[in-house]
Amino acid sequence: MEFFVKSGNPEKQRSACIVVGVFEPRRLSRAGELLDEISEGYLSNLLRRGDIEGKVGQVLFLHHVPNVLSERVLLVGCGKERELTEAQYKQIIAKTISTLNDTGSLESICFLTELRIIGRDSYWAVRQAVEATEDSLYSFDQFKTTKENTRRPLRKLTFNVSSRKELARAELALQHGLAVASGTKACKDLANMPPNICTPLYLSEQAKILEQRFEKIATKIVDADQMAELKMDSYLAVARGSKNQPYMSIMTYNGGVEGQKPVVLVGKGLTFDAGGISLKPGAGMDEMKYDMGGAASVYGTMEAIAKLDLPINVIGILVGAENMPDGNAYRPGDILTTMSGQTVEVLNTDAEGRLVLCDALTYVERFEPECVVDIATLTGACIMALGHNISALVTPHKGLAHEIITASNQASDKAWQLPMDDEYQKQLDSPFADMANIGGRPAGTITAACFLSRFTKKYNWAHLDVAGTAWRSGSNKGATGRPVSLLTQFLINRSESDTTELSN
């Protein structure tokens, strides 16, 4: 899809389809009113007759509206004008796109970006419209032998903003939206890939491809032998029960000035998590192919920032491994010595994410990071705490928490901070080792973060648990691409404040 922004009058647009909003009850939006005037009340007549009420999800497709230069007019229900929510806005855009796709308009101009949402500007409206459009057009059909093709798909979409003054910001929103959408798509494609194909080796190959595609990205792979030399025994223990060898991919993006400390993103990349000897129950186990969703989001974010050519140094790490039960697998009761030297008693082999991450988090000390954010589908408890809409943020660092929550709000990619008071740490006490790998049922997301915190003392660190948000279950099963949008925003913000610091 090709996107454009513009600021024009609806009555002057010559397009295959012009899209305008209708509010409940039966009230035209500003753009709709302008079309109504030139059509001498054609639209308001339809409304009066009750053809469309204006509820969210309603659409009315019209041909040959008198005096309107565009071939078609699509009226889209937007609900009550003052009550329009962000979620509804995205829903309205998705509905518009599916209608346009089904009805054969090859191009369209959309005035829904003029809708007002409390606290949001046209930058937000345009960016979310681009992201929502690409999200609604996404499908993962590479393993379907017959594909559902749209006969005459929408190819070109222009979003209108209400004044020329807003055009520069709208252009920026378009650029950001496109980069985020392509990073999100890369994340989804990788995460949706089946685990017989998407192995840790496959993750590393994808990381290598990014190096080839982008001048500023260099990729290095750490294999099992090198991990052994590095004494990453915890990471290796998790991978030992699988024929698929572990690989850790290190993608370095050099966009900032030389010597500028990097932001490091560490993604949990369990290409399949069977639970190991503490085997998971069978129902829904296929979804544990998504246990590399954190790594996929790091991968997508690297793509997004490379496309934006952000002036910042970032290192993205994919912590690839597979957790399987076999004769060589690690067991409950085993005591592992992590790369940091600290020992861990394994009480449950299904709490494997923290065991691979802890060694990766020690490994990244060598980069002297500005800060480190890890992203992981770490705990089922996170879904109990926050559900499927909000990711959990856990960090001891106030400044970083503020930054990440701000980025989350800007990007409409929700995250909520959970506490990590010291009292939780004692749940990890072990009679035999420095710590156990599980902290019991209470506050499982927090104790998992507490475990990681013991390996992140040398830098500022935050943890995002995306167990509930990285994919959807049920009939609409699929990766969501989250939190690529949040992470990219976080890096956009950082790159902007860095450049102002430099110019001051």
Question: Rule CB under 6 A: which residues touch ligand BES?
Answer: 273, 291, 348, 350-353, 377-381, 438, 444, 467
CB 58 within 8 A of CB 77: yes
Instruction: Give whichever of 189 and 273 is closer to Mn ion, judged by the CB atom.
Output: 273
CB of 287 to Mn ion, least distance (A): 12
Residue 333 touches which member of ligand BES, Mn ion, Zn ion, none, C-beta under 5-8 Å by kind: none
Which of 195, 353, 444, 468 touches Zn ion (CB under 5 A)?
Answer: 353
CA angle, 484 then 463 then 364, to 5°: 90
CB 125 within 8 A of CB 90: no
Instruction: Give whichever of 161 and 324 is closer to Zn ion, judged by the CB atom.
Output: 324
Helix (H) or strand (E) holding 269: strand 263-273
Stretch that binds Mn ion, among 34-42, 237-245, 273-281, 331-339 (CB under 5 A): 273-281
Which of 135, 273, 374, 403 touches Zn ion (CB under 5 A)?
Answer: 273
CB of 224 to ligand BES, least distance (A): 20
Q: Is 36 in the site for Zn ion (CB under 5 A)?
A: no
C-alpha–C-alpha distance, residues 75 and 33, integer Å: 12
Residue 203 touches which member of Zn ion, Mn ion, ligand BES, none, C-beta under 5-8 Å by kind: none
Instruction: Give whichever of 107 and 287 is closer to Mn ion, judged by the CB atom.
Output: 287
Q: Is 350 in the site for Mn ion (CB under 5 A)?
A: yes
CB of 327 to Mn ion, least distance (A): 20
Position with the least CB separation from Zn ion: 273
To the query of whether residue 426 is one of the catalytic residues in this protein, the response is no
**Can you spell out the DSSP letters for 114-166?**
G---TT--HHHHHHHHHHHHHHHH----TT-SS----SS---EEEEE-S-GGG
Residues 6+ apart with CB under 8 A from 147: 141
Instruction: Give whichever of 95 and 268 is closer to Zn ion, judged by the CB atom.
Output: 268
CB of 467 to ligand BES, least distance (A): 4
To the query of whether residue 152 is one of the catalytic residues in this protein, the response is no
- Say how many residues make up the chain: 504
CB of 438 to Mn ion, least distance (A): 10
* The pair of three-digit structure tokens given for residue 422, joined into one six-digit string: 């010291």
What is the dihedral sign for C-alpha 126, 404, 417, 401?
Answer: negative
C-alpha radius of gyration, the chain, whole number: 25
Instruction: Give whichever of 249 and 323 is closer to ligand BES, judged by the CB atom.
Output: 323
* The pair of three-digit structure tokens given for residue 77, joined into one six-digit string: 């229900």
CB of 265 to ligand BES, least distance (A): 19
**Can you spell out the DSSP letters for 180-200?**
HHHHHHHHHHHHHS-TTTS-H
What is the dihedral sign for C-alpha 331, 336, 338, 344?
Answer: positive
* The pair of three-digit structure tokens given for residue 417, joined into one six-digit string: 């901070």
Reduced to 3 states (helix: H, G, I; strand: E, B; else coil), residue 278 is coil
Amino acid at 366: R
Helix (H) or strand (E) holding 264: strand 263-273
Instruction: Give whichever of 375 and 378 is closer to ligand BES, judged by the CB atom.
Output: 378
Q: In Å, what is the CA distance from 433 to each residue of 334, 338, 344, 470?
A: 10, 11, 6, 33
C-alpha–C-alpha distance, residues 43 and 23, integer Å: 13
Reduced to 3 states (helix: H, G, I; strand: E, B; else coil), residue 54 is coil
CB of 27 to ligand BES, least distance (A): 44
C-alpha–C-alpha distance, residues 148 and 202, integer Å: 27
CB of 376 to ligand BES, least distance (A): 8
Instruction: Give whichever of 15 and 323 is closer to Mn ion, judged by the CB atom.
Output: 323
Instruction: Give whichever of 273 and 322 is closer to Zn ion, judged by the CB atom.
Output: 273
Which of 131, 135, 273, 345 touches Mn ion (CB under 5 A)?
Answer: 273
Q: Is 322 in the site for Mn ion (CB under 5 A)?
A: no
Residue 114 touches which member of Zn ion, ligand BES, Mn ion, none, C-beta under 5-8 Å by kind: none
C-alpha–C-alpha distance, residues 164 and 7, integer Å: 6
* The pair of three-digit structure tokens given for residue 216, joined into one six-digit string: 């500023």
CB 4 within 8 A of CB 158: yes
Position with the least CB separation from ligand BES: 380
Stretch that binds Zn ion, among 3-11, 290-298, 389-397, 454-462 (CB under 5 A): 290-298
Which of 291, 322, 345, 498 touches Zn ion (CB under 5 A)?
Answer: 291
Beta bridge partners of 76: 21, 59
Catalytic residue among 354, 454, 482, 494: 354
Catalytic residue among 116, 120, 280, 414: 280
CB of 318 to ligand BES, least distance (A): 16
Amino acid at 503: S
Instruction: Give whichever of 282 and 341 is closer to ligand BES, judged by the CB atom.
Output: 282
Residue 316 touches which member of Mn ion, ligand BES, Zn ion, none, C-beta under 5-8 Å by kind: none
Residues 452-491 that bind Mn ion (CB under 5 A): none
Phi, psi of 323 (to 5 degrees): -105, 105
Q: Which residues bind Zn ion (CB under 5 A)?
A: 270, 273, 291, 353
- The residues carrying an active-site annotation are 280, 354
